[in-house]
Amino acid sequence: MRVRVLGVLGILSLLLVLGLAYSLLSAGSRELTQELQINRVASLNRLAQVASEAAASNDWTVLQTEMDSYSNLYGEGILVHTQDRVLASGSLDPNRADVKDAFFNASLNLSLTSVEPLWPLGPSSRLVSRSFGSANQVLGEVVLEVDTAPAQAKLRTLWLLVIVAAVVLEAGLLLLAARVTGWVLRPIHRLNSAVLELEAIGSMQQLPQDGPPELRELSRSLTTMAAAVQESLDQQRQLIADTSHQLRNPVAALRLRADLLQLQLTDGPGREGIQPVLAELDRVEGLLDGVLTLATAENRLSEGQARQAVGPSSPARARANPALIAQEELERAGAAAALNGTTLVWGPEPAGDVELDCNPLELAQMVGELLGNAIKYAAGGTVEVSVGSGPGEVHLDVSDDGPGLPAEQLASAVARFWRAPQHRGMAGTGLGMTIVDRLARANGGELVLSAVQPHGLRARLVFRR
């Protein structure tokens, strides 16, 4: 936007400077031309008067002296033509075509006393002519060569000064336009960045009050709105955390009473009737744990995006060895895999030590969630964990040969509480993939889900080097 505005202002300022320069140059050219014309026409009239007196007295000495004096002073040629003689002074050639035309027009009593407008470059001489004699009879013609070189030199100097002044003026106008554009657009860019920051992390920094009054008022309004949004989000997060925490006490009490009741029941139907209650309690406890974990992950995501918005001066993340963490999580998941007959496989070893910028505890949590998800849905199958690297990235894969997900469901798998229709009968909260996605993004990574042929699911954690 700044470039477009500067382009428009630059074109307008250029047109203004060109118009002003053209006006000055045109006025200078007219002034020099008029001054030269007045002087030379006065000299032409003087010579015509002397020539008329000489023709009347038939004494041409005074005229010749006058002509020689003029030519010596100005370096311009003069020709006087009468019926019986031609008087010349200077280097004006009487055989030139334009000289002959001037004589012919003067003989017809058509005076040529105007000088064409001067330009810095071009012919350095002009001709003016007129006849002399009585009102009824033309006795002769006078042709004067006007040397325009000195006037053209002055005009070139004027052009140079005007061009230099125009360049300086244009540079000054562009600089002024840049400052004004920056003054106007800087708050707009700051507002845009603040809106993007608000969209990304739900909060934004205090906007400085500068720029035009309308933009200052808009900055104040946006800051107030952002504070309200941030307060609302904080209240929502706090509500989730408080609710989950407060529900733990009654759920724990229910768990204790259910366990005591189960111990007191000795008959078969009574013990079977308590099992659905225990299953629902397990489901509620798992849901509470998942909600708290998700709230923590989303809070970490907000913190990570806020650090990215601050810039390169933000603190560096902790370093983690993905291969070592994946092997540790494989060992922890061994017991759960053995219960449903799932085989855990460690993939090819990565070439050399591979490290990435990620919180080790959170990376372990992500791998544990992915392994638990794969073991549950690929029961009796094979789950493979591998670490690899590509151009500028490190990835950790958890692949299984279970039923997987159709392509149209992969994008929905990271949504809160989403469960695949074909897996609704299995225990779960629908928060596992959501937690992994938020933690991966909080650490500058990405969770990518894809299908495995002929069937299965690959969950890949991608981190930039």
Name the burial class of residue 328, with classes exposed (0-12), middle (13-18) and buried (19+) by CB atoms within 10 angstroms of its CB: middle
Answer yes or no: are the C-beta atoms of 439 and 300 closer than 8 Å: yes
CATH of the domain at 123: 3.30.450.20
Q: Tell which wins on pLDDT, 120 or 424.
A: 120
Same domain, 283 and 381: no
Q: Tell which wins on pLDDT, 130 or 244.
A: 130
Name the burial class of residue 389, with classes exposed (0-12), middle (13-18) and buried (19+) by CB atoms within 10 angstroms of its CB: middle
Same domain, 241 and 325: no
Q: Tell which wins on pLDDT, 97 or 184.
A: 97
Give the pLDDT band of residue 210 (cuts 50, 70, 90). Answer: low
Q: What is the pLDDT of residue 288?
A: 72
Same domain, 259 and 329: no
d(CA 121, CA 461): 75
Q: What is the pLDDT of residue 306?
A: 47
Q: What is the mean pLDDT of the chain?
A: 81
Same domain, 134 and 231: no
Q: For the residues 13-37, what does the mean pLDDT come to?
A: 90
Same domain, 59 and 95: yes
Beta bridge partners of 400: 383, 457
Give me the number of domains the chain comprises: 3
Asked whether the predicted pLDDT for residue 179 surpasses 60, the reply is yes
Q: Tell which wins on pLDDT, 350 or 179.
A: 179
Buried b (16+ CB within 10 A) or exposed e, 399-434: bbbbebbeeeeeeebbeeeeebeeeeeeebbbbbbb
Asked whether the predicted pLDDT for residue 108 surpasses 70, the reply is yes
Last residue of a domain, one of 155, 182, 203: 155
Query: pTM here?
Result: 0.48
pLDDT tens column, 272-308: 777 777 777 777 777 777 777 777 777 666 655 544 4
**Could you tell me if residue 150 is inside a domain?**
yes
Q: What is the pLDDT of residue 14?
A: 87
Answer yes or no: are the C-beta atoms of 390 and 417 closer than 8 Å: no
Q: What is the pLDDT of residue 211?
A: 65
Q: What is the pLDDT of residue 1?
A: 63
**Could you tell me if residue 230 is inside a domain?**
yes
Same domain, 350 and 451: yes
* CA angle, residues 213, 182, 174, in degrees to nearest 5: 125
**Could you tell me if residue 140 is inside a domain?**
yes
CATH of the domain at 298: 1.10.287.130
Phi, psi of 461 (to 5 degrees): -95, 115
Name the burial class of residue 69, with classes exposed (0-12), middle (13-18) and buried (19+) by CB atoms within 10 angstroms of its CB: exposed
Q: For the residues 125-136, what does the mean pLDDT come to?
A: 84
Q: Which amino acid is at 399?
A: S
pLDDT tens column, 445-463: 899 999 988 888 999 999 8
d(CA 158, CA 167): 14
**Could you tell me if residue 269 is inside a domain?**
yes
Same domain, 148 and 254: no
Give the pLDDT band of residue 199 (cuts 50, 70, 90). Answer: low
**Could you tell me if residue 193 is inside a domain?**
no
d(CA 165, CA 18): 11
* CA angle, residues 448, 450, 456, in degrees to nearest 5: 130
Phi, psi of 280 (to 5 degrees): -65, -35
Same domain, 33 and 85: yes
Q: Comparing 22-36, 204-218, 328-342, which segment has the lowest mean pLDDT?
A: 204-218
**Could you tell me if residue 203 is inside a domain?**
no
Contacts of 14 (CB under 8 A, 6+ apart): 170
Contacts of 105 (CB under 8 A, 6+ apart): 111, 112, 129
Same domain, 288 and 394: no
For 256, the domain range is 213-310
Last residue of a domain, one of 261, 280, 310: 310
CA 366 to each of CA 181, 240, 329, 376: distance values in angstroms, whole numbers, following the listed order:
48, 22, 10, 16
Last residue of a domain, one of 310, 335, 368: 310
Look at residues 398, 413, 415 and name the one whose alpha carbon lies nearest to residue 294.
Answer: 415
Q: Comparing 4-13, 117-126, 261-270, 330-339, which segment has the lowest mean pLDDT?
A: 261-270
What region does 211 belong to: left with phi over 0, alpha with psi -120 to 50, or beta?
A: left
Q: For the residues 95-101, what does the mean pLDDT come to?
A: 89
d(CA 66, CA 396): 108
Which percentage of the chain shows pLDDT scores above 90?
17
Same domain, 371 and 434: yes
Same domain, 303 and 335: no
Q: What is the pLDDT of residue 285?
A: 73
Q: What is the pLDDT of residue 424?
A: 72
Same domain, 299 and 341: no
pLDDT tens column, 354-396: 888 888 988 999 999 999 989 988 888 999 999 988 788 888 9
Q: Comparing 220-224, 356-360, 431-435, which segment has the lowest mean pLDDT?
A: 220-224
Name the burial class of residue 272, with classes exposed (0-12), middle (13-18) and buried (19+) by CB atoms within 10 angstroms of its CB: exposed
CATH of the domain at 357: 3.30.565.10
Q: For the residues 52-57, what does the mean pLDDT come to?
A: 86
**Could you tell me if residue 183 is inside a domain?**
no
Q: What is the pLDDT of residue 157?
A: 92
**Could you tell me if residue 195 is inside a domain?**
no
Give the pLDDT band of residue 209 (cuts 50, 70, 90). Answer: low
